[in-house]
Amino acid sequence: MRTASGLLSWAFVMLLSACGATSEVRIAAPVQEVTSFKFLDERPSDNRASHIDGGVAGTSVFYGDDNLSPPAPELMKAWLYKAMDSELAGKAITLRQFTVSVFDPGATVDRRQLDVAQNTARTSVPKGGAMQGALGAALAEPIAYGIESAKIQKSIWVRIEGDLDQKPFYVIHSEHVRGRVTERNVRNTIIRGLDKLVATLKSDGKAQ
């Protein structure tokens, strides 16, 4: 029983570390109640809530206001205030899209190699260990999936769209990681996307 429990725990850790993405993203950005500029949140409802879209190509996890702390509009407003409050004085910023997503193309397992692994698990246990052999065979597939998933490159995307005094702007920033997508991975991608937005507004002269 102790051996079986150990195998189950190991398989569970393997799956957690190799698959999926973090459920929440926290960024150290104090909410800014008062700014020199007007900030409007005009995003559609489907851009505000977290959801998961699955398809033949893979799975996309979208982080909405319920999984971002602070929520997207407060985060963006705080970032702009810190970077260019004086330059935006008296202007109006409208947020139309703030999309944070993780795309996982999924893992595939070679069925022939899996069959060999399962047969080996069944036949390589000592006499009287049939239960352990069966358990090892049952765990072979999820463990193999976890190992394959750890090799796959996941994509983290941030897209911000809006307008400044009716002049449209947008930025896209993406990064790639292997294995489980951590909170730090997503947080760093969002921060770099926001920094890119500030640089875009300054270089395009929209804040002049």
Whole-angstrom distance, CA of residue 135 vs CA of residue 118: 10
Q: How confident is the model at residue 139 (pLDDT cuts 50, 70, 90)?
A: very low
Percent of the chain's residues with pLDDT above 90: 50
**Comparison of pLDDT for 37 and 205, the residue scoring more:** 37
pLDDT value at residue 207 = 54
Q: Give the residue with greater pLDDT, 190 vs 109.
A: 190
Task: Look at residue 61 and tell me whether its pLDDT is greater than 60.
Answer: yes
Question: If 0-12 CB within 10 Å is exposed, 13-18 middle and 19+ buried, where does residue 90 land?
Answer: exposed
- Residues in the chain, total: 208
| The pLDDT of residue 46 is above 60 | yes
Tokens of residue 37, six digits: 């500029």
Q: Which residues contact 105 (CB under 8 A, 6 or more apart)?
A: 57, 58, 152, 153, 154
Q: Which of 8-22, 48-62, 180-194 has the highest mean pLDDT?
A: 180-194
Distance CA 201, CA 208 (A): 9
Overall CATH class of domain 25-106+152-203: alpha beta
Per-residue pLDDT for 70 more than 90? yes
Task: Tell me the pLDDT tens digit for each residue of 75-134.
Answer: 999 999 999 999 999 999 999 999 999 998 874 444 455 455 446 545 555 554 444 444
The token duo for 119 is 């047969």
Single-letter code of the amino acid located at 152: I
Instruction: Give residue 152's pLDDT band: very low, low, confident or very high (50, 70, 90).
Output: confident
Domain ranges of the chain: 25-106+152-203, 111-148
| pLDDT band per the 50, 70, 90 thresholds, residue 140 | very low
| pLDDT band of 29, cuts 50, 70, 90 | confident
Dist. CA 73–CA 80, nearest whole Å: 11
